[in-house]
Amino acid sequence: MTDAVDFIVAEAALLDAGRFDDWLALFADDGRYWVPLQGAEQADALSHNSLAYEDRLLLQLRVDRLKNPRAHSQHPRSHCQHVLQRPALEREDGDELALATPFIYIEARGDEQQMLAGTCRHRLVRHGGGWLIREKRIDLLNAGRALPAIQLFI
């Protein structure tokens, strides 16, 4: 499991470094990025609204937008920092692991800074000698409240 914990830490480091193409490459072909509107209480993404529910194609579009020099939302550019607790194993099923990682996320743009907290739930699938993300679910602590626009990826 140590390699899966290292994978989660490295994934957050890629986001903090703005290496979004490298981050996207960590997702399986059927990978999803999900931020439920109701937080941990939301059982699925299809029968309820979500703050984000994106497959690889939509994630690629977001990454391309962030890299575009004409992206108005990135003048000035956004930066982020993840502070993670140690990921805990929730379930192991064959070549798939489910881990939960409490976090604090800070996103800064210009003079403004916002902070969010919650638990990130990864479903990882073994691929070759490593891991790929089948689902990254972000259960925000304050998911049901009005939130500021998040430019990057939690």
pLDDT tens for 90-115 read 999 999 999 999 999 999 988 889 99
Which of 124, 137, 54 lies closest to 94 in space, CA to CA? Answer: 124
Average pLDDT over residues 133-137: 97
Domains and CATH numbers, the chain: 2-140 (3.10.450.50)
Residue 64 has pLDDT above 80, yes or no: yes
Residue 149 has pLDDT above 80, yes or no: no
Specify the higher pLDDT residue, 151 or 110.
110
pLDDT band at 140 (very low <50, low <70, confident <90, very high): very high
39 backbone φψ class: left, alpha, beta (φ>0; ψ -120 to 50): left
Rounded Cα distance between 4 and 132, Å, is 10
Tell me the CA distances in angstroms from 72 to 59, 67, 76, 108, 126, one per residue in order. Answer: 18, 11, 8, 15, 38
Confidence (pLDDT) at 10: 97
> What is the greatest pairwise CA distance in the chain?
47
Please state the pTM of the whole predicted model.
0.92
Share of the chain above pLDDT 70, in %: 100
Average pLDDT over residues 59-69: 90
Beta-strand pair 96-109/27-36: unpaired
pLDDT band at 33 (very low <50, low <70, confident <90, very high): very high
Residue 148 has pLDDT above 80, yes or no: no
CB atoms within 10 A of CB 130: 12
